[in-house]
Structure 1
Amino acid sequence: MGSLFEQTSVNGISLSNRFVRSATWMGMANEKGEPTPQLTNILCELADNEVGLIITGFTYVRKNGKCLSRQLGAHRDESISRFKELTRAVHKRNGKIVLQLVHGGYFSDSELINGVPLAPSKVKINEKNSRRAMSKQDIKELIELFADASKRGKEANFDGIQLHMAHGYLFSQFLSPLFNQRRDEYGGDIESRAKFPVEVLKGIRKNVGPDFPVLAKLNCRDYHEKGLSLEESIQVGKFLEEAGLDAIELSGGLLINEDLNPSRKNITSEKDEAYFEEEAKIFKAEIDIPLMLVGGIRSYSVAKRIISENTADYVSMSRPLIREPNLIKRWHAGDHRKATCTSCNECFKAGYSQKVFCPIENRQNISN
């Protein structure tokens, strides 16, 4: 039976506790995709407040995979020095930080990339504009680009990298039959649909070696009638484990889902929390690498149960730490009151106009 505040490790990363700050786009990168001092300060605050592992917001490996303005980018060697400034600052506070890598694929922003987004197949979902089906040359190039970006992450002294394979971004699109309707070796059954993510992982391992931690964020299921199922996701987890993955952060849902999306709203009681918990129990029984569970965790008692019952090895949170960066430190000190986050998602809306922050908390502070 594990404890929330015991020291653990993931392929050499020594972690002070079992809490993970799940990756979140903060809208605080500069025009080159580099971290700004403002973003560095936010992440350092998390380290100061005892978050065991910090995962950056999603970071594109090529400009044509950019999804949002002010998004981080790991596509340039010239940016390594700026990322080193970030990791140096976090490490100075005894924090651990992992770089999350992504390509938006279907959900890349056509205006930001000044072109037609790539996708596994030429499908039209939710009335999105045209998408170009990826050629095998496109696939080969992206395998190399992810490997290059991973190497940059290692050179910038990140403690590891995480591949964003969830929520409907490019890896998730290849895994999902909703998006992947290819008829070559990258489409069809789940082993074929997983071929691209597995090849990327193998390419990364060649570039960074066996001792550099590589994680993945993976949907337990898409919660869409035509999407990835739990049974298929478990198979993907096994493929990735065999290919050298070090840990899985389990999430779920697609950006296009209305209610069953990755960031569900109105979490008002403990029964609403940890909404991927049942899937995690099944997943945990099938894989041997560490499992991180994200999804609506707000209560100390729920986090404690997840670890003590071996549902997962780590508890991952985002929105509560946007509102309360000191939440983990507060819980460690014995104040086990529930996180004050109301799961309204106003923090993300704020990001479209300026940066991600909790406007509810800000309004309360002003009124007080």
Structure 2
Amino acid sequence: MTYLNQPLNDCKLTLNNRLVFPPMATSKSEGNGEISKGILEYYDEKSRGGYVGLFIIEHSFITPQGKASKGQMSVADDGNIEGLKKLAETIHKNGSKAVMQINHAGSATNRDITEGQDNVSASAIIHPSMRFEVPRELSKEEIKEIIKNFKDAAKRVKDAGFDGVEIHSAHGYLLNQFYSPLTNKRTDDYGGDVLGRIRIHLEIIKAVKEVVGEEFPVLLRLGSSDYREDGTTIEDSKIAVLEFEKAGIDILDVSGGFCGYMAPGREGQGYFSELTEAIKEVISIPVILTGGITEVEAAENLIATGKTDLVGVGRAMLQDSLWAKNAMESLK
């Protein structure tokens, strides 16, 4: 039996196979995060033939304060909806599904990128990886505004015709900064134990689902371990993912926390598989595993051995637009 080419049916987001093109920033947007011709051509090339079951579009900022880099795509205002529609249509006409990842950078940015806006985070602690300026701790009122920003962005994603939306809480961005004890030293309801540190996540999920409806798929990318002393651990994530499933998350996309998209000291294909394997023990929703996967045989084995339900192949498909076609044809 083959696995990568099997459909995903037991989920709100049905897919024709288990292959995922994970979010990777292209820095190809123009102006204030508008969809450019270059973006449309890039995703058209990558999705041609419909060999990839799901595209998760690169993280896009929900507010200018949360912009992570120059050339990043925007879901921060209604003026971008028409461009986003063209992007969704491009992928759909080629036969794949498309989900948009929405994000706030928190302290993982600087004033040059946010045009002078304050650098903010869960607590006034400098970003452990990027070492930008010390951020200002967000007030509860500001947290409410950011929750609204996520809600509004999710509605734009749905209005643009995407098949789902993914909330980004990995790679050291704002929601990851709330999740990790490295950067969350709050003493109010948004800090403390795991349940306190994911309160903002649960409130965002609730707000998003209120505006997109129960039938629209909502994914969450979780930095499931910081792989740093005193950072988040898989034991934290086993607690968190149960709450996310209860809150209505449909698919969990597993990656690293402040270690980024790499797993220090772990090599081989699917190097986050120890995280997905542990997470799959406690939740029943599908899980995506990405990390160093370049060969069809490795992807097949990761699914066959129960370490994941869906496989993200990033750099291999970035370098070779025919990777997915060759992979699926090899499984016939």
Question: Does the aligned pair in 2 maintain the 1:59–1:74 contact within 8 Å?
Answer: yes
Q: What TM-score, normalized by structure 2, do the two folds share?
A: 0.94
What does residue range 1-368 of structure 1 map to in structure 2 within 5 Å? 3-9=3-9, 11-49=11-49, 50-113=51-114, 114-126=116-128, 127-254=131-258, 257=259, 261-263=260-262, 272-334=268-330
Question: Does the aligned pair in 2 maintain the 1:68–1:112 contact within 8 Å?
Answer: yes
Question: Does the aligned pair in 1 maintain the 2:68–2:108 contact within 8 Å?
Answer: yes
Structure 1 residues 136 and 262, CA gap change in structure 2 (3 angstroms): same
Deviation at 1:151?
A: 0.4
Deviation at 1:273?
A: 1.5
Measure, in 1, the Cα distance between the counterparts of 2:5 and 2:331: 14
Question: Does the aligned pair in 2 maintain the 1:264–1:296 contact within 8 Å?
Answer: no
Question: Does the aligned pair in 2 maintain the 1:19–1:316 contact within 8 Å?
Answer: yes
Q: Secondary structure at the match of 1:272?
A: coil
Measure, in 2, the Cα distance between the counterparts of 1:43 and 1:182: 40
Question: Does the aligned pair in 2 maintain the 1:10–1:213 contact within 8 Å?
Answer: no
Deviation at 1:130?
A: 2.5
Structure 1 residues 10 and 246, CA gap change in structure 2 (3 angstroms): farther
Deviation at 1:112?
A: 1.2
Aligned residues: 328
Deviation at 1:125?
A: 4.1
Measure, in 1, the Cα distance between the counterparts of 2:226 and 2:157: 29
Deviation at 1:280?
A: 1.4
Structure 1 residues 223 and 197, CA gap change in structure 2 (3 angstroms): same
Measure, in 1, the Cα distance between the counterparts of 2:264 and 2:89: 35
- 1:366 paired residue number: none
Question: Does the aligned pair in 1 maintain the 2:20–2:311 contact within 8 Å?
Answer: yes
2:87 aligned partner, one-letter code: L
Measure, in 2, the Cα distance between the counterparts of 1:23 and 1:93: 18
Measure, in 1, the Cα distance between the counterparts of 2:84 and 2:233: 36
Q: Secondary structure at the match of 1:57?
A: strand
- 1:356 paired residue number: none
1:90 aligned partner, one-letter code: I
Structure 1 residues 330 and 78, CA gap change in structure 2 (3 angstroms): same
Question: Does the aligned pair in 2 maintain the 1:186–1:196 contact within 8 Å?
Answer: yes
Measure, in 2, the Cα distance between the counterparts of 1:326 and 1:98: 21
Measure, in 2, the Cα distance between the counterparts of 1:138 and 1:2: 49
Measure, in 1, the Cα distance between the counterparts of 2:242 and 2:2: 24
Question: Does the aligned pair in 2 maintain the 1:234–1:286 contact within 8 Å?
Answer: yes
Q: CA RMSD in A?
A: 1.9
1:77 aligned partner, one-letter code: D
1:41 aligned partner, one-letter code: E
Measure, in 2, the Cα distance between the counterparts of 1:277 and 1:14: 23
Measure, in 1, the Cα distance between the counterparts of 2:235 and 2:162: 33
1:297 aligned partner, one-letter code: I
Q: What TM-score, normalized by structure 1, do the two folds share?
A: 0.85
My pick for the range that moved more, 37-46 or 1-10, is 1-10
Structure 2 unpaired stretches of 5+: none
Deviation at 1:109?
A: 2.4
Deviation at 1:108?
A: 2.3
Deviation at 1:10?
A: 6.4
Question: Does the aligned pair in 1 maintain the 2:256–2:262 contact within 8 Å?
Answer: no
Q: Secondary structure at the match of 1:13?
A: coil
Q: What do the CA deviations read for 1:245-265 (whole angstroms, capped 9, x no partner)?
A: 0000111142xx4xxx41469
2:125 aligned partner, one-letter code: V
1:45 aligned partner, one-letter code: E
Q: Work out the percentage of aligned pairs sharing the same amino acid.
A: 31
